[in-house]
């Protein structure tokens, strides 16, 4: 009987020497490929970091340094004296009031619209795609264009004003757009679409199985919303509300177009201080106001991050 003799793999130094180049090339090529991937990632993100440094970090540093400098460049705290004057406190109060009101209206209406869109439209249906596209456009539609659109519609000789007067005989107050309710209404025009964009993924994360489980355990609709859905959606809702607040608090161009001669908001007060040619110390005061706005927005963003981190447990 003949036995098949299997070839024995060579061992020892000779074998290692023979297999050495191919075995050593594998870790080296892997490290080289990883290094190339890291360089590619860095090259891709480098324009973003450069843009952020030029248009976000550098202006922030300039504002913070300028808030503590006098006209000659020396250190001073005199720029902060006007922070506690009545008109400055009133401007901050008005800005916070307008931001809270527009953010609350935008958050509630946007959340209801998001829920209606989830239960009434298919996930990839044309209605949902159309609403998402329109919301993406309207969320960025602000500034002078938005102010002009409202003036042309509800201004003194606006199309809507003339139509309402013709049909009902009622004359719209020509100063309504230049009032705080009018400004809140204008802000809601971009706050509601922004809320839909932010809150729609949160409503999508609610699983139908959770409601079925609640009903199988004897729960009703009220118990489902108060004990299951709302506790899950509440952190996302609060986080979205804070983002809307930051967006409204820092808005400038729309209010500047509607309130051309009044500095009732902090951004408008900064504009007035920068344009003041009678008092050269107003430049430092403008830097202080901008620094205070940075602090407010930073606090809001930190709160939003903390709430979003809590909501991340359900992802």
Residue-wise pLDDT tens digits, 199-237 = 999 898 888 888 889 888 888 888 999 888 898 899 889
Stretch 238-259: mean pLDDT, rounded? Answer: 92
pTM: 0.82
Q: Which of 145-149, 210-214, 307-311 has the lowest mean pLDDT?
A: 307-311
* Fold adopted by 64-314: MetI-like fold (1.10.3720)
pLDDT band at 16 (very low <50, low <70, confident <90, very high): very low
Q: Which of 101, 103, 107 is nearest to 245 (CA)?
A: 103
Instruction: Tell me what pLDDT residue 141 has.
Output: 86
Phi, psi of 75, rounded to the nearest 5 degrees:
-75, 135
Structure-token pair, residue 147: 């102010």
| Angle in degrees, CA 89, 286, 190, rounded to 5 | 75
Alpha helices in 121-154 (DSSP H): 126-138, 144-154
Q: Per DSSP, what are the bridge partners of residue 69? A: 75
Domain range annotation of the chain: 64-314
DSSP state of 75: B
Question: CA 115 to CA 206: how far, in whole Å?
Answer: 10
pLDDT tier at 24, thresholds 50, 70, 90: very low
Cβ atoms of 94 and 264 closer than 8 Å: yes
- The residue written with tokens 């809140």 in the block is 184
Model confidence band, residue 286 (pLDDT cutoffs 50, 70, 90): very high
């Amino acid at each position: 009987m003949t036995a098949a003799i299997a070839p024995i793999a060579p061992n020892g130094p000779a074998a290692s020497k023979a297999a050495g180049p191919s075995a050593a090339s594998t870790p080296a090529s892997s490290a080289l490929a990883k290094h190339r991937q890291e360089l590619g990632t860095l090259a891709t993100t480098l324009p973003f970091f450069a843009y952020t440094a030029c248009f976000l970090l550098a202006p922030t540093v300039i504002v913070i340094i300028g808030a503590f400098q006098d006209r000659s460049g020396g250190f001073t705290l005199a720029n902060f004296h006007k922070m506690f004057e009545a008109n400055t406190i009133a401007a901050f109060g008005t800005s916070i009031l307008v931001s809270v009101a527009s953010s609350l209206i935008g958050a509630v209406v946007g959340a209801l619209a998001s829920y209606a869109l989830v239960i009434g439209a298919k996930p990839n249906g044309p209605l949902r795609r159309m609403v998402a596209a329109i919301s993406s456009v309207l969320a960025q539609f602000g500034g002078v264009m938005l102010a002009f659109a409202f003036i042309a519609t509800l201004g003194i000789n606006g199309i809507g004003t003339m139509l309402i007067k013709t049909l009902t005989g009622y004359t719209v107050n020509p100063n309504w757009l230049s009032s705080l309710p009018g400004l809140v209404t204008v802000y809601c025009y971009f706050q509601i679409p922004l809320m839909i964009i932010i809150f729609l993924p949160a409503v999508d994360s609610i699983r139908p199985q959770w409601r079925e489980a609640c009903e199988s355990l004897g729960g009703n609709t009220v118990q489902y919303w108060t004990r299951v859905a709302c506790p899950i959606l509440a952190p996302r809702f609060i986080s979205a509300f804070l983002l809307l607040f930051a967006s409204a608090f820092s808005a400038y161009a729309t209010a500047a177009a509607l309130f051309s001669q009044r500095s009732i908001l902090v951004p408008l007060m900064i504009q007035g201080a920068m344009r003041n040619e009678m008092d050269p110390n107003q430049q430092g005061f403008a830097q202080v106001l901008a620094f205070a706005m940075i602090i407010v927005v930073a606090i809001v963003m930190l709160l939003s991050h903390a709430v979003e981190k809590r909501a991340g447990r359900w992802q």
